[in-house]
Amino acid sequence: MTVQNLQGVARTLLVPLACRAIDTIRPDAILRDPRAVEVYNALGGNPDFLMGMRGHDLVAAVMRARQFDTYARDFLARRPSGMVVDLGCGLDTRFDRLDDGNLLWRGVDLPEVIELRREVLPDTERGKTIARSMFELSWLDEIARLNKPVIFLAEGVFPYFSAADVKPMILEMAARFPDAELVFDAASLFIAKHHNRASSVLKKTGTRILWDVKNPQELETWGLHLLDQWYYFDAPEPRLRFFGWIRLIPFMAKSTGIFRYRLGK
């Protein structure tokens, strides 16, 4: 399997890998991820993996990964016997970033993605992958058999689907893991429309942002409980430079965020 064989949403996995690798080698790196550099170089180290992403968008991608890591570490600190499940794991190197010698991690993604991933990021005893679409819910059986507290992470995944697409999966997750947590990122309808018009990544992969939830509280009507929400402009980030002015405009400052839920009230 080569990166050239990846199509559609699967092909977008190259972008966050390249963002983390390129950022890591900077002296002012937001997130140190040496394993991402190894994987990026193993795949050819091609800047074209960014698909035109640059500037503040690259910075935001790394900030997003850092915040997902923060939520995962917080969960594991509270639930030391817990496990991390990455939905749409792609070529993420979160296991390496979080591993404390005891971490249990599972990654779920399409078979063609997992085939490529295992070539450059082989499974280990505690870090394994499941080659299945997240919508094929039989993968939940494998997670349930481990009988661990779970935090589900969906970084850069849900925006490519509508609420109607992901709702059956989330409801099943909530029914089977009522004490679990779910973290995902999403953009407002305004930003989604902007990205669909202007994003070089979406154009080059033939994908679109379909997420259509107006605010994170809507998912509480599904039986979830919103625990926290994080936005890119909540705190100053020097690497965003002059884009920091966006925090002064509320509807823009809160237009893209990361949301943490408990899967049950």
Per-residue pLDDT of the chain in tens (265 residues, 90 and over written 9): 566 667 788 889 999 999 999 999 999 999 999 999 999 999 999 889 999 888 888 999 999 999 999 999 999 999 999 999 999 999 999 999 999 999 999 999 999 999 999 999 999 999 999 999 999 999 999 999 999 999 999 999 999 999 999 999 999 999 999 999 999 999 888 888 888 998 999 999 999 999 999 899 999 999 999 999 999 888 777 787 756 556 666 656 577 899 999 998 6
Q: Reduced to 3 states, what is the DSSP secondary structure of residue 202?
A: helix
Under CATH, domain 71-262 is a member of which superfamily?
Vaccinia Virus protein VP39 (3.40.50.150)
> Whole-prediction pTM value?
0.94
pLDDT of residue 265: 65
pLDDT of residue 6: 77
**From CA 38, how far away is CA 43, in angstroms rounded?**
9
pLDDT of residue 60: 92
Q: Reduced to 3 states, what is the DSSP secondary structure of residue 152?
A: strand
Tokens of 45: 């180290």
pLDDT of residue 232: 86
The DSSP code for 151 is E
**From CA 2, how far away is CA 112, in angstroms rounded?**
9
Q: What own/partner pairs with CB < 8 Å and gap ≥ 24 does 168-172 have?
A: 168/135, 168/137, 169/134, 169/135, 169/137, 170/219, 170/222, 170/224, 170/263, 171/222, 171/223, 172/137, 172/140
- In whole angstroms, how far apart are CA 172 and each of 36, 168, 179? 32, 6, 13
**From CA 114, how far away is CA 124, in angstroms rounded?**
14
pLDDT of residue 190: 82
- Contact, 159 vs 187, CB < 8 A? yes
pLDDT of residue 230: 95
Q: Rounded to 5 degrees, what angle do the CA atoms 134, 262, 192 make?
A: 60
pLDDT of residue 80: 93
**From CA 2, how far away is CA 262, in angstroms rounded?**
37
Cβ neighbors of 243 (< 8 A, separation 6 or more) are 56
